[in-house]
Structure 1
């Protein structure tokens, strides 16, 4: 796909030949190459650009709230081929490393998603577990430990979701700080050895965490939306894959607009034309769920929302003994591994394990070894070899992967360094923002928008516990009457897209590349969890 001349910092379109993600190895037969109609619709009530977790849930909420809407979703590649289909398979709220009201929002997001998976029995391998945040920097651990202490005093309801594990006299975890409501067996496991991290400076355990197959979650949602078309419902949902949006144009109007499928007439000041190589779509409402690729359509965001490439490997677990009585390796938790003794903010790795029998270890991170830390890179067709070597060999240095790991040795434990064999290695594009918060809301004219253009993007590697309720919030904004000031929007004010916030960010925050290299994104808002 030929790319037009780009401005400095601007993203290109998604490339045609991305690396193959582990999550795409079992594609939906219904979604692969799907175009609901052979020809591109010429008009729609709402056009959604992007088919990841944000776009799919936005369509879900739109059709849930107004079934008569005609919604068209356009995707540059296959469905869910961007960050959602290429991430680390985590969903975990940032309880202690976010402002408390943001932590509460993320926890609501997590619980909503968990409840939805259970309600519809969504086959996405959702596994509720505990999240172990492993610190190899004493400085960083002490900083986060003090945050948890303050949380316990000021917000005990949030603090109940976390526990601090410190070194004991023999280098093992100190049980004294573990919550009183834990069973005795759980308290014994809440040690550094029991958590498979005997050499760590400390750990913070979060009880609300999950691993999942993110592509299958989104595929279920999109298939359900498409199935509603066949049930004779009002309105329609039209998915058009392999249809990149190359531009947006706006025309002023003073007319009251409504489509044949939409009984609700609203006042609009703009008509938007969505341009693609297959033709154009005319609409009064456009929602960009474009994450790291946003600046391709809105160059004004080139300094506010920066594409950033991450990398992940699916690694075969260490070989287990031939004794049939031995169970397969089960690490039992999800992990974030942060900090180095000499550089507290250089490392940000993440790990989940797939179920047996394959039980691959999905290990991501290592951006400190990528050229420019991946900042400004929007091409996911390749990987960094230096990051690949790191991911293959570093995991066993950080986490005890032995089948019978030492829990309560009381002495020094030597982890056996292993070079693990990858089954998949892939990259993906995140959207990093200068203040680490998403941009959610109407796009002002000064940023290339105007009435009817909406954005929900820029999760700085932390989209899974933010995107669903952010999508709901932007849908609530989109559907609100122009003169309706009583609509309650569940969204942290830091996420709202306003000109005032844009000016504040540009005046008071460093460029993403500068802040990321210094660790500022981590220091202010906790580890990123792509």
Structure 2
């Protein structure tokens, strides 16, 4: 891992794989709010994913006269946000005991509540602002195949119920092996766990959010990678691009796995990891109305995550499933340190292609006449050694802020 973490991080690459959600790209994909790059700004946000868009929206809502410029290296929402599996899912029980140990019970409870409330608020925001993003609150199920993991999960859920009595963030239901097969269509599991979650197209959600920001005065500059930034006098930062330099009072790095490319001090601190996702046409034995819940499949070394496309959506009934890292060579170690989302790994693709039939067994049936895989793509996430994100003003650098390294969790 030390060797992989030391691989120099570069800016996003041109011609990435086209994610299921980004086909076709939205009308603002290549938008430049002004033909020329603004010379000055109160705030420059680097990155147009859910983090950058959310920050822009909140700043412009609270301080409408703020001059906000957003720089995006490629198309709008072309990074991890627009490339994920479509889950809004916390699975807080999987990290709660670890968080209790590392940050204490009080903060572990705060984290679990934050995760739950974020899910609820995202769906509420999409409804309130009529963002067309296949917004769907639904139950999710974790299908567990490993007895040790099942035992750990039960203990974690018991701990959450004991320390967070009655809180919706601690509301989990345990199901038997028979239930997993008969109710959730997955034979061979130790058991299943259900709880509140949801799904949406994060790409459409963030594009909708960016449009709200544009209506509030955001200046969006796509296809404008920032190559370097430095202090300019006491009160300004100079942000250099191929199209010119912007001088800003404040900067927010919303660059996740790419952060070290423009902030070399964070090389080996935020390590990129390439993830992979596939979209499957449903088998002939799958429910004709589509699955009514999202899934995760959890086994000894790793997991896969899956959402069904809802009725009325494009390609309704499709199953979007990602993961496969643990089965790759060296347990997926070689996927760390790369920012190359222009390609996919053939071994992981082969594995993900087989997952739906493997997990659903006889309930899958025959493949669709057009083939099982409709589309496959990759995306770049950001990870830290301690498993926590970096959020806030960077110590010793007044006016320089960061919100990055979400361990694959902050991009749904």
State if a TM-score over 0.5 links the two structures.
Answer: yes
- What is the aligned residue count? 388
What secondary structure does 1:156 align onto?
A: coil
What secondary structure does 1:436 align onto?
A: coil
**Which residue pairs with 2:16 in the alignment?**
18
CA distance in 1, matches of 2:6, 2:241: 23
CA distance in 1, matches of 2:239, 2:344: 32
Deviations 1:214-236 (A, max 9, x none): 111011111122233xxxxxxx3
**Which residue pairs with 2:403 in the alignment?**
456
Deviations 1:34-90 (A, max 9, x none): 000001001000000000000001000000110000100000000000000000000
Q: Is 18-27 or 81-90 further displaced after alignment? A: 18-27
**Which residue pairs with 2:390 in the alignment?**
439
CA distance in 2, matches of 1:424, 1:110: 27
Q: Is 57-66 or 141-150 further displaced after alignment? A: 141-150
Deviations 1:464-489 (A, max 9, x none): 4xxxxxxxxxxxxxxxxxxxxxxxxx
Rg larger in 1 or in 2? 1
Deviations 1:358-404 (A, max 9, x none): 421101010124455211111100000111111111222113573xx
- How far residue 312 of structure 1 moved from its aligned partner, in angstroms, is 0.4
CA distance in 1, matches of 2:366, 2:206: 37
CA distance in 1, matches of 2:51, 2:359: 33
Assess, with a 3 A threshold, how the Cα gap between structure 1 residues 401 and 85 changes in structure 2: closer, same or farther.
Answer: farther
**Which residue pairs with 1:364 in the alignment?**
322
**Selected match of 1:382 from 338, 343, 347:** 343
CA distance in 1, matches of 2:92, 2:172: 8
Q: CA RMSD in A?
A: 2.1
1:208-219 equivalence runs, <5 A:
208-219=196-207
- How far residue 418 of structure 1 moved from its aligned partner, in angstroms, is 6.2
The alignment status of 1:396 with 2:351, answered yes or no, reads no
**Which residue pairs with 2:105 in the alignment?**
none
What secondary structure does 1:76 align onto?
A: coil
**Which residue pairs with 1:474 in the alignment?**
none
**Which residue pairs with 1:410 in the alignment?**
none
The alignment status of 1:422 with 2:373, answered yes or no, reads yes
1:99-498 equivalence runs, <5 A:
99-158=108-167, 160-167=170-177, 172-173=178-179, 192-206=181-195, 208-228=196-216, 236-253=217-234, 270-319=235-284, 328-339=288-299, 344=300, 346-356=301-311, 358-371=316-329, 373=332, 374-399=335-360, 402=363, 421-445=372-396, 450-464=397-411
**Which residue pairs with 1:87 in the alignment?**
84
CA distance in 1, matches of 2:161, 2:218: 46
CA distance in 1, matches of 2:49, 2:166: 32
CA distance in 2, matches of 1:421, 1:74: 38
Assess, with a 3 A threshold, how the Cα gap between structure 1 residues 114 and 101 changes in structure 2: closer, same or farther.
Answer: same
CA distance in 1, matches of 2:74, 2:309: 26
Name the TM-score, length of structure 1 as normaliser: 0.70
Q: Is 418-427 or 452-461 further displaced after alignment? A: 418-427
Name the TM-score, length of structure 2 as normaliser: 0.89
- How far residue 416 of structure 1 moved from its aligned partner, in angstroms, is 6.0
